[in-house]
Amino acid sequence: MKDILALTGNEAVAQAMRQINPDVLAAYPITPQTEIVMAFSQFVADGLVDTETIPVESEHSAMSACVGASASGARAMTATCSQGLAYMWEIVYIASAMRLPIVMPVVNRALSAPINIHCDHSDSMGARDSGWIQIYCENGQEAYESTILAVRIAEAERILLPVMVCFDGFITSHAVERIELLEDKVVKDWVGDRKAKYSLLDVDNPLTYGPLDLQDYYFEHKRQEAEAMRNAYQAIPGIIDKFERVVGKRYDYLEEYKMEGAELVVLCLSSTCGTARTAVDRLREKGIKAGMVKLRFFRPFPAREVVGALSKAKAVAILDRSDTFSNRGGPVFNEIRSAFYDNENKPLIVNYIYGLGGRDINVEDIEKVYTDLQGFHKQKKVETLVNYLGVRE
């Protein structure tokens, strides 16, 4: 019998963690993630979990403790945002290079400076080269389910990479939604026990984690890491199939909305997708062939699926909630544009950077994007490749 509760995104993720019952949780608070660990701490106090909970002195220590625990065969989790993710930076890269299946909710919050506690994707997008798998969740229900899904993805023997489960700060983390929880036993069966092949506590097979490499072997180890992400791309669909039987929903690499015959398409991530759907509905009512693609997994980057979803469109707007400051647009835009290079059907692809520092994006803003797309499609060209949606000029 599924429980249906009114929970914030953070509380929903804390429930997922309760049901996963990790061996170790090492965390440090930061807005807007704090409630995840706060709620989880209450579960610890109430004896609902067996987790060894370590309140560490910083996020750098949090990820370090998770690395140590995970290298010892434990199932380790932490949670962070923004400056916290930035603080654990060096260890984040170490966790993936050491092939440790840590699952970490990241409540997307803008990076300083200036200090901003509100939502944008600069934190996790900044970590896109770290070797972590990245899942972007639209709402609390997805955040809850993705956290549970992530454990099996991370620990799959062909993968063995840590996973960031990203969802929007305040928008998703603090908003109360109707959340349907899976039964405790279902989650427990889904995650199973971690069977770590290489554990520091396996005294019969002593080993060393984290040695030095010189010029002669570093490249080979990194080649292996690249192969792991390739394997992840191949293996994740099979895990999604199995998860569909558990949760009744497909967590595909991307999700299409009213894409049948869609000529003008917006691709976005996370909570903005909910807003975009309303814009699509309004436009479709007016007879405009609008569609929306929600990208769930940014790492591994599902180039084939993205091209497949977008290639029949005439004009596509990629919405980025972060900037690369490369002088050439946002991260999602650049990777998608690159994916299209070899494709015969190339729609017009334009970038809208939006929502930085929690700047709101509403249905009218997205409708404006579709109006722009109509113009580009008619003129058969794009005026400005990189646009800033919602900034005051």
Cis amide leading into 113 (omega within 30): yes
Residue 89 makes CB contacts below 8 A (sequence gap 6+) with 127
Nearer to other proteins by Cβ, of 105 and 162: the residue is: 162
Q: Are 270 and 137 within 8 A, CB to CB? A: yes
Q: Are 79 and 37 within 8 A, CB to CB? A: yes
The one-letter amino acid code at 301 reads: F
CB of 156 to other proteins, least distance (A): 13
CB of 217 to other proteins, least distance (A): 7
Q: How far is CA 315 from CA 212, 340, 364, 373, 375, in A?
A: 49, 13, 19, 6, 9
CB of 221 to other proteins, least distance (A): 5
Binding-site ranges for other proteins (CB under 8 A) = 97-100, 160, 198, 205-211, 213, 216-217, 219-221, 223-224, 227-228
CB of 129 to other proteins, least distance (A): 18
Looking up tokens 């909570």 gives: 271
- The 10 Å Cβ neighbour count of residue 126 is 17
Signed CA dihedral, 336, 356, 134, 82: sign only: positive
Nearer to other proteins by Cβ, of 101 and 140: the residue is: 101
Nearer to other proteins by Cβ, of 211 and 261: the residue is: 211
Nearer to other proteins by Cβ, of 5 and 235: the residue is: 235
Q: How far apart are CA 110 and CA 126, in angstroms?
A: 11
Q: How far apart are CA 165 and CA 105, in angstroms?
A: 4
Rounded to 5 degrees, what are φ and ψ at 226? -65, -40
CB of 232 to other proteins, least distance (A): 14
User: In terms of Cα–Cα distance, which of 177, 149, 176, 175 is closest to 163?
Assistant: 149
Q: Is 257 helix (H, G, I), strand (E, B) or coil?
A: strand
CB of 90 to other proteins, least distance (A): 15
Dig out the tokens for 255 from the structure.
């999700």
Nearer to other proteins by Cβ, of 1 and 207: the residue is: 207
For the chain, what is the radius of gyration of the CA atoms?
21
Nearer to other proteins by Cβ, of 158 and 282: the residue is: 158
Nearer to other proteins by Cβ, of 1 and 212: the residue is: 212
Nearer to other proteins by Cβ, of 228 and 332: the residue is: 228
CB of 204 to other proteins, least distance (A): 10
Q: How far is CA 157 from CA 72, 160, 187, in A?
A: 16, 6, 19
CB of 73 to other proteins, least distance (A): 13
Nearer to other proteins by Cβ, of 89 and 198: the residue is: 198
Q: How far apart are CA 70 and CA 60, in angstroms?
A: 15
Q: How far apart are CA 240 and CA 235, in angstroms?
A: 9
Nearer to other proteins by Cβ, of 219 and 328: the residue is: 219
CB of 207 to other proteins, least distance (A): 5
Structure letter (DSSP) for residue 198 = S
CB of 236 to other proteins, least distance (A): 19
Rounded to 5 degrees, what are φ and ψ at 256? -100, 145
